[in-house]
Amino acid sequence: MKLFLIAGEPSGDRLGGALMAGLKKLHPGVQFLGVGGPEMEAQGLTSLFPMEELSVMGLVEVLPKYRELKARIAETAEAVSAAAPDALITIDSPDFTLRVARIAKAANPGLATIHYVAPTVWAWRSGRAAKMAKVIDHVLALFPFEPPYMEAAGMSCDFVGHPVVTEPQATPEEAAAFRETHMIGADQPLVLCLPGSRRGEVRRLAPRFDEALMRLRDREPGLRVVVPTVRGVAEMVREMSARWPHPPIVVEAAADKRAAFAAADLALAASGTVSLELAASETPMVIAYDMNWLSRFIIGRMLKVDTVTLVNLVSETRAIPEFLGADCRPGPIAQALAEILNDDKAREAQIAAMRLTMTRLGKGGEAPGLRAARSVLAKLG
């Protein structure tokens, strides 16, 4: 069996890697082609081009790279046609992946198409599901409330859970060793700074995050900061953080990031999948996010929910404070960080919401990557 997979950002790469591992277990000899990052490459994929080229976010942010992205869309669609796979599996990044699917499906109407990560039609732009149904046959959903939305639009859909529930967590010993290695005392507050995995996000959020953390340092003089990052923006993060008045510790290796998550008392993070990673490690957090003013205006008018933080949505609580758009300002963010750092009840409420989230996403059951693989194989007969 030959499958063509496309992921466009680190979170999609992790989903793709887990899916590929599940497929290899259930269907030995499966062949993979497509576009992906280090997680998918570790499972045997040779990426058509570096996945980092596709890590663009926002309606306006895409425009400067539109010509390059359009060329990559055409190149990838041609590769799908040439490969004649048993199925095309697109993973998140709909602005890129679904455009490829549309061209590939037009060239071969019989091509089986599967999309991993349902569009957030419950949050905004509900028409996306119907539009996606024109080129996608089957959807793998991360959240238990999503299948009815996809089925109503005409696609089959299985809830497969989220791979975050099976990702390894650092032990207390590894967390203690991280603090010792970086000379962080047991009583020193340690905060994670997570300004995103895309260059545009980091450029926009990092200065505000650092300003908020500097204000927190005024209240907590012994504060230490760690910035876990990913391959596509690691160099950029290091260059920016080297200019900060109090340079943080920057870590990129997976083991170091796990240890940092476990060792931290608190995190300041961009909105997105990272909130689930923090929930898995039971690290209290504050979420903040902003984008280009025009994107902010358009999306703000379309938004149908009062929170975008996944832990809040899945747990049906509002335990995680968030500062979005015009509210993404250093002063209020610093105040929220200080309150959570020193309020045991707020921390306990967050941890309870995190545990409920993990349970609802499949913790304790079959690995989501394996469930996703079963769904793919069942769809393909």
DSSP characters over 100-144: HHHHHHHH-TT-EEEEES---TTTS-TTHHHHHTTT-SEEEESST
Pairing assessment for the beta strands 190-194 and 266-270 based on DSSP bridges: parallel
Non-local CB neighbours of 205 within 8 Å, separated by 6+ positions: 195, 196, 270, 288, 289, 290, 328
Looking at the structure, do residues 310 and 211 belong to the same domain, yes or no?
yes
Domain range enclosing 278: 172-360
Is the model's pLDDT at 373 over the cut of 50?
A: yes
Q: So what's the pLDDT on residue 60?
A: 45
Looking at the structure, do residues 226 and 343 belong to the same domain, yes or no?
yes
Looking at the structure, do residues 373 and 352 belong to the same domain, yes or no?
no
Non-local CB neighbours of 364 within 8 Å, separated by 6+ positions: 165
Give the tens place of pLDDT for each residue, 18-66: 999 999 999 999 999 999 999 999 999 999 999 988 865 444 455 667 7
Give the tens place of pLDDT for each residue, 319-371: 999 999 989 999 999 999 999 999 999 999 999 999 999 999 999 999 999 99
Looking at the structure, do residues 254 and 128 belong to the same domain, yes or no?
no
Looking at the structure, do residues 189 and 328 belong to the same domain, yes or no?
yes
Q: So what's the pLDDT on residue 305?
A: 72
Residue 199 lies in a domain: yes
Residue 375 lies in a domain: yes
- Arithmetic mean of pLDDT over the chain: 90
Looking at the structure, do residues 294 and 151 belong to the same domain, yes or no?
no
Is the model's pLDDT at 294 over the cut of 80?
A: no
Concatenated DSSP letters of 161-222: --GGGGS----HHHHHHHHHHTT--TTS-EEEEE--SSHHHHHHHHHHHHHHHHHHHHH-TT
What average pLDDT score do residues 175-181 get? 97
% of the chain exceeding 90 in pLDDT: 72
H or E element that contains 251: strand 249-251
Looking at the structure, do residues 83 and 143 belong to the same domain, yes or no?
yes
DSSP E strands, 257-330: 266-270, 285-289, 322-324
Residue 283: CATH number of its domain: 3.40.50.2000
Distances 141 to 155, 175, 272, 350 between C-alpha atoms, Å: 12, 33, 16, 25
pTM for this entry: 0.78
List residues bridging with 291 in a β-sheet: none
Give the tens place of pLDDT for each residue, 154-167: 999 999 998 889 88
Residue 167 lies in a domain: no
What average pLDDT score do residues 376-381 get? 96
CA 179 to chain centre: 26
Q: Comparing 84-98, 111-125, 219-233, which segment has the lowest mean pLDDT?
A: 111-125
Distances 39 to 11, 21, 151, 254, 283 between C-alpha atoms, Å: 10, 10, 30, 11, 24
- C-beta separation of 114 from 379 below 8 A: yes
Looking at the structure, do residues 220 and 304 belong to the same domain, yes or no?
yes
- Which two structure tokens, joined as six digits, stand for 39? 């997680």
Q: So what's the pLDDT on residue 230?
A: 80
Split at pLDDT 50, 70, 90, the class of 100 is very high
- C-beta separation of 155 from 138 below 8 A: yes
Residue 190 lies in a domain: yes
Q: So what's the pLDDT on residue 58?
A: 44
Looking at the structure, do residues 186 and 313 belong to the same domain, yes or no?
yes
Q: CA quadruple 79, 81, 87, 88: dihedral positive or negative?
A: positive
Q: How far is residue 277's CA from residue 237's CA, in Å, rounded to a whole number? A: 20
Q: So what's the pLDDT on residue 59?
A: 41
Give the tens place of pLDDT for each residue, 101-153: 999 999 999 999 999 999 877 655 678 899 999 999 999 999 998 999 999 99
Looking at the structure, do residues 272 and 312 belong to the same domain, yes or no?
yes
% of the chain exceeding 70 in pLDDT: 92
Number of domains in the chain: 2
Looking at the structure, do residues 196 and 345 belong to the same domain, yes or no?
yes
Q: So what's the pLDDT on residue 86?
A: 98
Looking at the structure, do residues 355 and 375 belong to the same domain, yes or no?
no
